[in-house]
Amino acid sequence: YTAPDSCKGRCEEPYSEEDECHCNAKCERYHNCCEDYYRHCRPEGFSSSRDTITDEDLLHISEQLYKADHNKARPSDIAINPQYQASPDETGDQEDRSPQPLYKYVNEELFSKPTYASFIKLLDNYQRVTGREEDVTAEELREQDNFLREVMKTELMKKLFAFLHKKNRYSSEQEFVADLKEMWFGLYSRGDGEQDSSGFEHVFSGEVKKGKVSGFHNWIRFYLLEKQGIVNYFSHNFNGPWDTYPDVLGLQFSWDGFYKEVGSAFIGCSPEFEFGLYTLCFIARPGRACHLSLGGYSLSIQTYTWTKSTYGNGKKYIATAYVISP
Of 35, 11, 36, whose CA–CA distance to 24 is shortest?
11
Q: Which residues contact 29 (CB under 8 A, 6 or more apart)?
A: 168, 169
| CA-angle at 154, arms to 143 and 295, nearest 5° | 120
Angle of helix 271-284 relative to helix 114-122, nearest 10 degrees, comes to 70
How far the first Cα of the chain sits from its last, in Å, is 39
Q: How far apart are CA 73 and CA 103, in angstroms?
A: 13
Residues 148, 177: contact at Cβ < 8 Å?
yes
Q: How far apart are CA 171 and CA 165, in angstroms?
A: 6
Of 303, 42, 57, 302, whose CA–CA distance to 169 is shortest?
57
Q: How far apart are CA 44 and CA 159, in angstroms?
A: 29
- CB atoms near residue 48 (< 10 Å): 8
Residue 269 sits at φ, ψ, to 5 deg, of -85, 165
Residues 102, 251: contact at Cβ < 8 Å?
yes
Tell me which residues are annotated as active site: 202, 217, 260
**DSSP characters over 92-152:** TS------S-SEEEE-GGGGGSHHHHHHHHHTTS---BTTS-----HHHHHHHHHHHHHHH
Of 112, 173, 110, 184, whose CA–CA distance to 144 is shortest?
184
Three-class SS state of 252: strand
